[in-house]
Amino acid sequence: MELAVYSIDGNKTAKTIDLNDNIFGIEPNDHAIYLDVKQYLANQRQGTHATKQRNEVKGSTRKLRRQKGTGAARIGDIKSPLLRGGGRVFGKKPRDYSFKVNKKVKALARKSALSYKAKDNSVLVLEDFSFDTPRTKQYLELLERFNILDKKSLLVIPESDRNILLSSRNIPKAKVAIASDINTYQILNAQHILFVESSIKEVENILV
């Protein structure tokens, strides 16, 4: 797949770039995407939730009423889960939600997500650039030139660039990621993906 390369001014340059069909043109595997996104979201969970079970609630162990003769249901102590303030039945405990997904499956998921975006014409390639100083206004102008200011966007850069990262972090729908760190969730969550020209090579080196 061949795409035009744009300058940050929003103008099409004379350059074009060939996207690797083994990354941007495969038949997407939805199950691989599902597993990778599920793992990513599971890893975001802290798992620090905790509730008290019957043996952990503070209270008397005295039997509240005699077993028979009252006409009411039998009942134990005040810590019973049936009573207000009692312990929880099978209450939540701290746990680790993370699970393993094979590297090849994760790579297939990223390729599938990128292929979906390429088919939807949601991929733009920009010339390599940087900002002299961190300025949010500069990044807003960049997005406005491509008519994606009000849409979710993901800019993929080849390596960490402090000025670009600081310029974009106050824009709610604009995200920036390093090529080696992009994941399936980020790709699918963005409506438009902007690749810096040199970041395409980094992505190809990782996924090919």
Q: Token match 């393993």: residue? A: 100
CB 197 within 8 A of CB 162: no
Domain 2-45+98-207 has CATH 3.40.1370.10: yes
Question: What pLDDT, on a 0 to 100 scale, did the predictor assign at position 208?
Answer: 79
CA angle 161, 184, 97 (to 5 degrees): 105
Give the global pTM.
0.84
User: pLDDT tens digits, residue range 19-74?
Assistant: 999 999 999 999 999 999 999 999 999 999 999 999 999 999 999 999 999 999 99
Q: Where in the chain is the domain with CATH 3.40.1370.10?
A: 2-45+98-207
Assigned token pair, 38: 């599920």
For the chain, the residue count is 208
In which band, very low, low, confident or very high, does the pLDDT at 1 lie, cut at 50, 70 and 90?
A: confident
* Average pLDDT in the chain: 94
3-class secondary structure per residue, 13-75: EEEEEECCHHHHCCCCCHHHHHHHHHHHHHHHCCCCCCCCCCCCCCCCCCCCCCCCCCCCCCC
